Amino acid sequence: MCGRYTITVDAEGIAWRFGAERPEFDFEPAYNAAPTQNLPVIIEANGQRRFLLMRWGLIPHWSKEMSIGNKLINARIETVDQKPAFKSSLLRRRCLIPADGYYEWLKIDERKQPVRIVSSQNDLFSFAGIWNEWIDSEGMTINSFSILTTTPVASITHIHHRMPLILSPDQEGDWLRGPRSVEPLVVKDFLDKLHPCPSLHFYPVSSLVNNPRVNSPSLIDPI
């Protein structure tokens, strides 16, 4: 799964990397991005990429309560086309989630050591995501997202049995544009062709990352 990640690049750097227009808002780097926070998302509309902030934890349009999103921070790639909470977003609202690392907890004896998993090039990448619009009882629109997960690549299989689907740069455009048909077999074939970027490594970090209220550059320092 993916329950915590990092995006240590500012708004200008994110927009440049993903070919989106520089947004009017600022974004402070997130060294401990956590569910319910508003975080950077890249979508494509009319052939143009847009940079938005969305709440992490997808809220289905039919939900009566925003809190359901707290349980929908991840969507399994194997079943995302079947789940009622995710299916319409998969077909119509795919997105890129900019990141430069994510946290996982490695079990060592009787304790869990937090580690940060990054690309071998230590560069900015993207998770495959889906998003949705939800309108609350007062008529306010809230955009929210979920991160797709998949089976881990060989270098991190011993850490956790799931990982976020990290797209290679040449997969990003295909993901945003999506399958050419909504026929189940076409969608399934589209999903089956997605494979996570294999060049990952990890290093141990401070247990301060366990607290989602802590957001400090020191969290990504190796220990």
- The rounded radius of gyration (Å) of the Cα atoms in the chain is 17
Per-position b or e across 109-128, b if 16+ CB within 10 A of its CB: eeeeebbbbbbeeeebbbbb
2, 44, 95, 172: the active-site residue? 2
Alpha carbon distance 59, 86 (integer Å): 9
Alpha carbon distance 23, 7 (integer Å): 16
Q: Catalytic site residue 104? A: yes
12, 21, 78, 104: the active-site residue? 104
Alpha carbon distance 18, 13 (integer Å): 9
Phi first, then psi, for residue 199 (nearest 5°) are -85, 85
How far apart, in Å, do the first and last CA atoms of the chain sit?
23
Alpha carbon distance 99, 71 (integer Å): 21
Q: Which residues are catalytic?
A: 2, 104
